[in-house]
Each structure stands twice: as C-alpha cells, then as structure tokens.
Structure 1
Amino acid sequence: MQIRSEMKLTDQVVKNFRVAKVFKENTDRINNIDFSPTGDALISSSEDDQIVIYDCEKGTQKRTVNSKKYGVDLVHFTHAKNTAIHASTKVDDTIRYLSLHDNKYIRYFPGHTKKVVALSMSPVDDMFLSGSMDKTLRLWDLRSPNCQGLMNLASRPVAAFDPEGLIFAAGVNSESVKLYDLRSFDKGPFATFRLNPEKTCEWTGLKFSPDGKLILLSTNSNTIRLIDAFTGNPTHALMGHQNDKKIPLEASFSPDSQYVFSGSTDGKVHVWHAESGIRISSFPNDHLGAVQCIQFNPKFMMLASGCNNMAFWVPNMDENS
C-alpha cells in the first residue's frame, strides 16, 4: 500500500480513490475511528469490545486491545503517544483514559448517568468535551478526574472543538448551534444559530472544517447539513447517499476543507464539494454493511472507512498518470 503526503486533492484524484487494504479482524460493527494527529496511526473501537490500532504508513494492523469488561465506544487518541480516551458500553457511563502501551487505565472520568454520545479532544491541549443522553455537556482535563465544567441542555447534545481549540460548538435539540468561549463558557454562549427544526431526523454529529469556516451536522437521515461557522447561515444540505436504517452516519472533511465524505447504508462512500454542495463521486460498494465511520488522514493521501470491516483507500496512481 503506497500512501503519499505531497499530492494535492483535486476532483480527479478524489474520483480515483480505490480500496487498497481491507481488515476483517472485527466480528461486530466498528463504532468509531480516529487518526493520530501525525497521521501515522489509526485507532478504532467496535461493538465486539475491541480497540484496534493500525499503522497507516505500512497499511498493517499493529495491535488489538480488548475492553471486555467496560466495552468501548468513541475511542480517540490524546496528544500523548500511546494513550486514548473512550466511552463505555457496559457497567456504567464513565469515560476512561487508557495507556495503549500496557493496556492499563490511567484515569476515570465519572459523572454521566446515561450513554455518552459525543466525545471531542481539544486540538491543542489536554481538554476534552463529552455529551450524553443525560442531556449534559461536560468539559474535562486529562490530568484531573473532576469535571471542569457542566452544562445542562434541553436534549441530547452533539459537540466539538474548533480547529484552534479556543471555542466549542454544541448542537442542541437538532435546531440550534451554540458557540462557547472556552475561557468563559460558564457565562453562556456568545453566539446562538437557530436553524429550521429537523422534522424527520436528529443531529448525530458535529464537526468544524479544518479551516474553521464551516460546521458540519451529520444526521440519522440521508441529509448532512453545512452551516457558516461565523454567521450560522445554512450553506448546503448534502444529499444523495442512503440511510434507510435511520442510523448515525459519520461525515468528515478532507484536511484542506474542500471535500466532505460520508458513508451510506448501502456500503458506498460518497463525496461532495463543500463549497458548491455538489456530489462529485460515490465510490464502489466495497463494504458489505452500512459505512458508519469515515475519516480522512490529516497528513497522508488516505481515507479510512468502517462497517464490520475496516477499509483503507488511496488514489489509484495508474488512473492519474
């Protein structure tokens, strides 16, 4: 598997993406994936209680860590090498901070009383955000088990940090996005964007574009919403992919913020122009199940997508030459 870092993303390059490697270690649905900030590793969590770490440069599976006791969901690398945080699917709703090197827990973050559905690591330091079905949003520091801030909301939240780690956004009730300054979030949001309430679906994920200009709202329907991060004006509703099972499908930006990638319940991967909202490609059906996880490597020309299997995609160089 050959991956490059110097290539530039163009429509032609995007259309030439092909599956280079498929991993079939998991026996159940992959529920989250996350690239390390340097792009050399990918971590996944799945419903079979496994955490799998992949070497992106070699295109190999590095190791597997089992979490049979607590289960695992929403796994994320921290900034330190060989450590991760994850939500739990068994016993309780505590967030756990894990040393991947020796499979030992460094710290626990208790507080949520229902399933954790959002986890976002600050891009700059040890802060992270968690949102739960208990209708709270919590702010944490990896160095302390105590919650640094707590917000009660009207419904299940979706939340994420901006690329500079100075503000965070919370999507509430599938109808408004609130922006908070990290240094004074207890004073309430400094901006609230009200959108038309969703009638047929729920927001299931929120992400900023890497350039900080757009906010992406993924849903449990066949619509992805893009809004302007400064004005809150809706820019596009991205459609064309399938979600007949009404499940949360992840959508992600390319590192240059030009493209949006999403999975689909028919096993395909779809790509849109972020600026125009036009769908430019749908990749062939290489997944047997619904593609719920999809992310672009932050440093290399590589895409990862997961159903029960994990697929690594790279551009087919023969078609570019």
Structure 2
Amino acid sequence: MRLTDNVVRNLRVAKIFRENTDRVNSIDFSANGETLISSSDDDSIVIYDCLNGTPKRTLNSKKYGVDLIRYTHAVNAALHSSTKVDDTIRYLSLHDNKYIRYFPGHTKKVVTLCMSPIDDSFLSGSLDKTIRLWDLRSQNCQGLMHLSGRPVASFDPEGLIFAAGINSETVKLYDLRSFDRGPFAAFKLPQDKECDWTGIKFSPDGKLILISTNGPVLRLIDAFQGTPLQNFTGFANNRGLPLEASFSPDSQFVFCGSTDGKVHSWSTETGTKLAILQADHPGPIQNLLFNPKYMMMASACTNMAFWLPLVDE
C-alpha cells in the first residue's frame, strides 16, 4: 500500500491505550517498526507491540525519571534522559530493566537526544547550551560544542552529518568526522519573534529539514541550500508547547499534533494542507511519529493512539 493524499485523509484512530497517568513525553519506533517505546512524566516506560496493537510491558524509572526515550540499534536497549537527581543520560537494558551505562556531563535539562542511524554514536543537546557527541560503548563524551543558546540537533539519514539549530535562527550542518572544525554550512532563517525552535528533523530521503517550534508554525527548508520551502500553519498551539512534527517514510507528507487534540497533515512538495484528522485526545498532542515500516502512525497526550488508514487502495 502506497501513501497517497487519499490514504492520509483516511487515517483514523484504530486503538487508544490508557497506560499512563501523566503526559507521554516522548515516543520512538524500533527500526523494524514492530514495537513502539514511550516515556512519560509518570516515570514509566511502556513498550507496545505494533503488529498486534497491544501494550507489551511497562518498566518504571522512579528514581531518575525518564524523558526523550530512544531505541538503540538493539530492540532490547534504549537511551533516555533523566528528569530527577541529575541530567545524566542513561543506557537501559529493556530485557532486564538494568542500566548498562551512564553518560554524565550535561549540567541542565537535556532537550534533544538522537541516535545515529548507522552506528553506536548519539547526540545530545541541553539547556546548558552544549551539544555533546557520544558513543554507547564509552561513558566519556566524544565531542563537545558550546553554543550561544538552546540547541536542537539531528542526524541525517546516512548518519554522516548532523544539523544543529541554534538560537531559533540558524541551522548549522556539521560533518561527523570533523565537527570540531566547525560547520561546513550555515543557514540563517528569518527569526520568529513569537516562538522558539524545539525540534529539527531530516526527511527520510535526506533532502529536507523540518523545524518544529513552540508556536503555531513549522518550517520546511532545503537540506542542501537552506532555502525556505514551506511554512506549515493553521494548527492550534496556544500554550507555547513543543509539538513534535514528523515526516511520512516517503518524505512526501508532514504530520503534527495540536493543543486542541487534532492532527494536521501537509504535502511537503506543495505546502497544501491535506487533512485535519480528529483524534480522541483529551490533551495536547505533543508526540507524533509515523511508523518507518508499516502503514500506521502513533500520537500521544496522556493517552496513546494508534492510527490506521480506513481505505484500501
């Protein structure tokens, strides 16, 4: 089944899970698309089976709290940031709920965490105005960048470069092998007076960069030239929340939640809004991801919703 405008318009909530007592703060699909992991402000980690549409298991992280949960390349291990004690990043074995390694260094809340698509390296960015590069095999930071403001960062799909959004106005591209030499490209964008950048993502084909904000706008730019391509607007974000936006696996569509519980979708090519999808979310949808391998989407407030298309094409 191919993702078309019609399929996007016919996405519907197929299942709702109420495993959490507080806001889900991050979600991540495994690379094979078979499981979804979520972290919540209630200090729990829930793993869902995407093929059967069932919760698989729940792990608790009462001592350190849990945020920004990310699968590593092994489906039985994950990374997450902490919300209590300190700002150490923790590497967790999901199989026996034991920590494999700690990554200390950040002195303030970690606001961005992403795993390399190709190897054991990962990036973290914090309100301490640094981006750190790590390797899962060592607790020592492999590289450190000092910035002038809050960072957002992400790897490209090949894992060779990463983008850093600085001060909500500049996107800098770094080569992973020589990032201490500084960026090889920098794109300055018109600054949003009303909102800050809260996320940055490359499209799966590597050609586009999507910038999400804590306001009612998303920006799409060309990943090579930095040219502004689209501004996606018309969704509610009246609380200044960081709303996660995501690409479809074919890079043709962008999806984003809203504070009024609806999901909006646009065409990356034309910028046209294709659909406003009604979700049964009682709270703001701050997390939304499309499954990398299967025709399904997940969105979360306190509840988790799995979406499937109604039509057969």
Superposition TM-score, scaled by structure 2 size: 0.99
Unmatched 5+ residue regions in structure 1?
A: 1-6
Find the partner of 2:242 among 244, 248, 268: 248
Matched, 1:95 2:89: yes
Could you say which residue in structure 1 is the equivalent of 2:204? Answer: 210
Q: 1:224-239, aligned counterparts within 5 Å?
A: 224-239=218-233
Could you say which residue in structure 2 is the equivalent of 1:307? Answer: 301
Q: 1:1-321, aligned counterparts within 5 Å?
A: 7-317=1-311, 320=312
AA aligned to 2:160 is L
Report Cα offsets for 1:153-188 as digits up to 9, x if no partner.
000100000000000000000000000000000000
For residue 25 of structure 1, give the secondary structure of its aligned residue in structure 2. Answer: coil
**Rounded Cα–Cα distance in structure 1 between residues aligned with 2:211 and 2:228:** 11
For residue 143 of structure 2, give the secondary structure of its aligned residue in structure 1. Answer: strand
**Rounded Cα–Cα distance in structure 1 between residues aligned with 2:162 and 2:151:** 12
- Give how far 1:197 is off: 1.5
Contact 1:137 1:150 survives alignment (8 Å):
yes
- Give how far 1:232 is off: 0.3
For residue 13 of structure 1, give the secondary structure of its aligned residue in structure 2. Answer: helix
For residue 131 of structure 1, give the secondary structure of its aligned residue in structure 2. Answer: strand
**Rounded Cα–Cα distance in structure 1 between residues aligned with 2:262 and 2:281:** 7
- Give how far 1:286 is off: 1.3
Contact 1:133 1:156 survives alignment (8 Å):
yes
Task: Give the root-mean-square deviation of aligned CA atoms.
Answer: 0.7
Report Cα offsets for 1:163-216 as digits up to 9, x if no partner.
000000000000000000000000000000011122110000000000000000
- Give how far 1:80 is off: 1.2
**Rounded Cα–Cα distance in structure 2 between residues aligned with 1:258 and 1:105:** 38
Contact 1:175 1:195 survives alignment (8 Å):
yes
Contact 2:43 2:65 survives alignment (8 Å):
yes
Contact 1:266 1:285 survives alignment (8 Å):
no
**Rounded Cα–Cα distance in structure 2 between residues aligned with 1:269 and 1:286:** 10
- Give how far 1:83 is off: 0.1
**Matched pairs, number:** 313
**Rounded Cα–Cα distance in structure 1 between residues aligned with 2:59 and 2:94:** 7
**Rounded Cα–Cα distance in structure 2 between residues aligned with 1:245 and 1:81:** 35
**Rounded Cα–Cα distance in structure 1 between residues aligned with 2:75 and 2:194:** 41
Unmatched 5+ residue regions in structure 2?
A: none
For residue 196 of structure 1, give the secondary structure of its aligned residue in structure 2. Answer: coil
AA aligned to 1:26 is N
Contact 1:167 1:179 survives alignment (8 Å):
yes
**Rounded Cα–Cα distance in structure 1 between residues aligned with 2:102 and 2:24:** 23
AA aligned to 2:123 is L
AA aligned to 2:68 is L
**Rounded Cα–Cα distance in structure 2 between residues aligned with 1:124 and 1:132:** 23
Superposition TM-score, scaled by structure 1 size: 0.97
AA aligned to 1:39 is G
For residue 173 of structure 2, give the secondary structure of its aligned residue in structure 1. Answer: strand
AA aligned to 1:173 is N
Contact 2:255 2:265 survives alignment (8 Å):
yes
Contact 1:87 1:95 survives alignment (8 Å):
yes
Worse-superposed segment, 280-289 or 252-261: 280-289
Contact 1:131 1:157 survives alignment (8 Å):
yes
